[in-house]
Amino acid sequence: MDKTRVLTTGEAAKYCGVNFRTVIRWIERGRLSAYKLPGRGDHRIKVEDFIRFLESNEMPVPDELCPQASASKVLIVEDQSEMASAMRRVLRRAGYDVEVAADGFAAGLMLAQHQPTVMTLDIKMPGMDGYEVLRTMREQAVYNNVKVLVVSAETPAGMQKALEFGANDVLSKPFDNDELLDKVEALMGTVSDVRIATA
């Protein structure tokens, strides 16, 4: 969805599950940015301001309001739900289209459905671990262009093994949000560079 689109107070209220008068009170108290239409005085809320409001109040952001970009898709493969949610929140706030797979088997399905540009991958997962996911991916030419960032609490030797299995970069847990964003952005950039070079 185009972030320049605007919402009425009624639409914002439906997303929040409140009465539209509550939304008007938020606006009047300065909690939610909005502007008035000339003449009628009705409020309009920019989608980007509404998303910022939802995130600052720890409210879920509806998928249809998130910026979509085919070249900015990220798949998070992480079996710890709290870690996956935190990573998803950080990346979506940065404008990425993000999906989550809870294990290696789900990752295989999501790779085909979501077609991410970058995939973050935990190593220690039940069933199919990260090494097996990497090996399976790199055996299939269709996934050659998917950049893989291993995000794990593995040992340095384990991280080196991930690189040997085909990971493009690694990030050790625990990490800062800025580190995650920098790594993902760098991998997105390498994709852009390839496209420019081959255009």
Q: Of the given ranges (30-34, 124-128, 162-166), which has the lowest mean pLDDT?
A: 124-128
**Cβ atoms of 153 and 172 closer than 8 Å:** yes
Q: Point out the domain boundary residue: 37, 63, 89.
A: 63
- Distance (Å, rounded) from C-alpha 113 to C-alpha 116? 9
Q: Is the peptide bond before 174 cis (omega within 30 degrees of 0)?
A: yes
List the domain range (segments joined by +) for residue 21: 6-63
Q: Point out the domain boundary residue: 42, 63, 84.
A: 63
- Percent pLDDT > 90 in the chain is 58
Which pLDDT value is given to residue 192?
Answer: 41
The model's confidence at residue 23, banded by pLDDT at 50, 70 and 90, is very high
C-alpha angle with apex 86: 156 to 137, nearest 5 degrees? 55
pLDDT tens column, 35-64: 988 777 789 998 888 988 998 888 887 767
- Average pLDDT estimate for 7-15: 92
Which pLDDT value is given to residue 102?
Answer: 93
Instruction: Give CA 44 to chain center in angstroms.
Output: 27
Count of the separate structural domains present in the chain: 2
83 lies in the same domain as 47: no
- Distance (Å, rounded) from C-alpha 167 to C-alpha 149? 6
- Distance (Å, rounded) from C-alpha 78 to C-alpha 107? 9
Return the SS3 of 99. strand
34 lies in the same domain as 122: no
Return the SS3 of 179. helix
140 lies in the same domain as 177: yes
Q: Domain of 14: which CATH number?
A: 1.10.1660.10
- Distance (Å, rounded) from C-alpha 108 to C-alpha 61? 26
Q: Domain of 110: which CATH number?
A: 3.40.50.2300
122 lies in the same domain as 179: yes
pLDDT tens column, 61-111: 776 776 544 458 999 999 999 999 999 999 998 889 899 999 988 998 888
- Distance (Å, rounded) from C-alpha 144 to C-alpha 179? 24
Which pLDDT value is given to residue 199?
Answer: 30
